[in-house]
Amino acid sequence: MASLLWGGDAGAAESERLNCHFSNLVHPRKNLRGIRSTTIPNIDGSLNMEENDEDDVVDLAANSLLNKLIRQSLVESSHRVEVLQKDPSSPLYSVKTFEELRLKEELLKGIYAMGFNRPSKIQEMALPMMLAHPPQNLIAQSQSGTGKTAAFVLAMLSRVNALELFPQCLCLAPTYELALQTGRVVERMGKFCVDVEVMYAIRGNRIPRGTEVTKQIVIGTPGTVLDWCFKRKLIDLTKIRVFVLDEADVMIDTQGFSDQSIRIQRALPSECQMLLFSATFEDSVWQFAERIIPDPNVIKLRKEELTLNNIRQYYVLCENRKDKYQALCNIYGGITIGQAIIFCQTRRNAKWLTVEMMQDGHQVSLLSGELTVEQRASIIQRFRDGKEKVLITTNVCARGIDVKQVTIVVNFDLPVNQSEEPDYETYLHRIGRTGRFGKKGLAFNMIEVDMLPLLMKIQDHFNSNIKQLNPEDMDEIEKLEY
């Protein structure tokens, strides 16, 4: 291991940590791409919040990491699986137990030590294909949290030869932090695999030219991996047996990563097993997947259809921001609220509303884009645990984050795009936070008069009925139920 370090400085300590043999990786407190870390707002009443009028942009990589940090267990998917097998006559049954996969004893021990009892839906379908002889290529899509990482980690750990001291499995992830998360799964699942080691090809882990890399599994970001393979010649791609492209949807969202991944893939031997995973499957992801994975089996979960059918939508006409706040208080006082998420368009509005509500004695928390991912994860966790009943947020929370007990969504500001037109997708995703899994939900839109035409467009677009509510009419408000 000493040969992999580059001196006795702080960097060496970092490198030592990154190259360790399944040691406990400490997650470095770093910010993700696109997340500004300047000031962290105090939401404890002592408000030194800097005024920042920026809209928060949705960062796919940050959302993906956030989901991993707050997820405690498998997301049970009830969606239909579609399987397109490369060779339909090949007898690749799905499996119901891990034993049926004839995994190495030490892997079964690792799986059970992680508390897994049986394969998830995606694992049930994908593992027989991934572990088949000869190895088969696979493109797999399944929503976030359904067990994809565990599936391909199992495939990598099944195929490594601990006695051969060179990289045999290569996994590309879109960010430093996501690579570390995958590495942790390799560590935990491979806990009983003696002499199997993982190495991180990520920025900051600088390895001297000519160093011999002896670890069998390399996880990294495309840029650094490319550098290690072609410039520094640390990895011999012709010896790679399993190539994994994780989070393909996030990957193609990042400038340059598709091309870099394709360059790496082109240098792999034809017998290398190629696996691609993605939580979503838009056309662009599909086109990329087909370019990079030759002759694949395909597993897809049908998309979750977000609908507005079981959500009752209302709007309240207001003169200004103060007026909107008053209406919100009336609604809040008039009905029993489980938990509510309130969306604002800008950070400035979100902060203003947080202060107002706190001064009125409400327990609220604020989630906006300048927080680190770890801070956001902890806020969402507290909200999930019911420690706060109201979460005020910008668009950072519109997608992907699942808090089941939310019964009310408030659009304190309507979502609009840069051309000042309604942002229908975001509306659907915001409102879709409530009324999930057949439960009923309520949505309120606080509308200043000039925004009314936009609300009407939203109503037409979704062909749904958004009813006007008089915020002074407490009788009517009290009759609302969900």
Ligand X SMILES: Nc1ncnc2c1ncn2[C@@H]1O[C@H](COP(=O)(O)OP(=O)(O)OP(=O)(O)O)[C@@H](O)[C@H]1O
Binding site for ligand X (CB under 6 A): 64, 67-68, 71, 73-74, 114, 116, 119-120, 123, 142, 144-150, 279
Q: What minimum distance in Å lies between the beta carbon of 280 and ligand X?
A: 9
Q: CB-wise, 49 or 275, nearer to ligand X?
A: 275
Question: Residue 20 or residue 101: which is nearer to ligand X going by CB?
Answer: 101
Whether the Cβ atoms of residue 225 and residue 177 lie closer than 8 Å to each other:
no
Q: Measure the CA–CA gap between 375 and 148, rounded to whole angstroms.
A: 25
Interatomic CA distance for residues 57 and 394, integer angstroms: 9
d(CA 180, CA 202): 9
Report which DSSP code applies to 228.
I
Question: 149 or 407, CB closer to ligand X?
Answer: 149
Smallest Cα–Cα separation from 211: which of 430, 439, 2? 2
Least distance between ligand X and beta carbon 176 (Å): 15
What is the rounded distance in angstroms from the CA atom of residue 393 to the CA atom of residue 383? 12
Going by C-alpha positions, the residue among 429, 478, 480, 471 that lies closest to residue 447 is 471
Nearest to ligand X of 33, 440 (CB atom): 33
Helix, strand, or coil (residue 199): strand
Q: Using CA atoms, how far apart are residues 272 and 229, in angstroms rounded to an integer?
A: 16
Which of 71, 233 has the CB closer to ligand X? 71
The residue among 96 and 233 lying less far from ligand X, judged by its C-beta, is 96
Q: What is the smallest separation between the CB atom of 75 and ligand X, expressed in angstroms? A: 7
| Smallest distance, ligand X to C-beta of residue 243, A | 17
Contact status, residue 283 vs residue 299, Cβ threshold 8 Å: no
Single-letter amino acid code for the residue at 26: V
Residues facing residue 71 across a β-bridge: none
Nearer Cβ to ligand X (81/442): 81
Q: Report yes or no: 352 and 321 within 8 Å, Cβ to Cβ.
A: yes
Nearest approach, Cβ of 79 to ligand X (angstroms)? Answer: 13
Closest CB 8 distance from ligand X, rounded Å: 36
Residue 77 or 407 with smaller CB distance to ligand X: 77
Residues in the chain: 482
∠ Cα 216 279 55 (to 5°): 115
> In whole angstroms, how close is the CB of 279 to ligand X at the nearest point?
4
Counting runs of H as helices and runs of E as strands, what totals does the chain give? 16, 15
Beta sheet of 311-318, edge-to-edge order: 364-367, 390-393, 339-343, 406-411, 441-448, 311-318, 466-468
Q: CB of residue 64 vs ligand X: minimum separation in angstroms?
A: 6
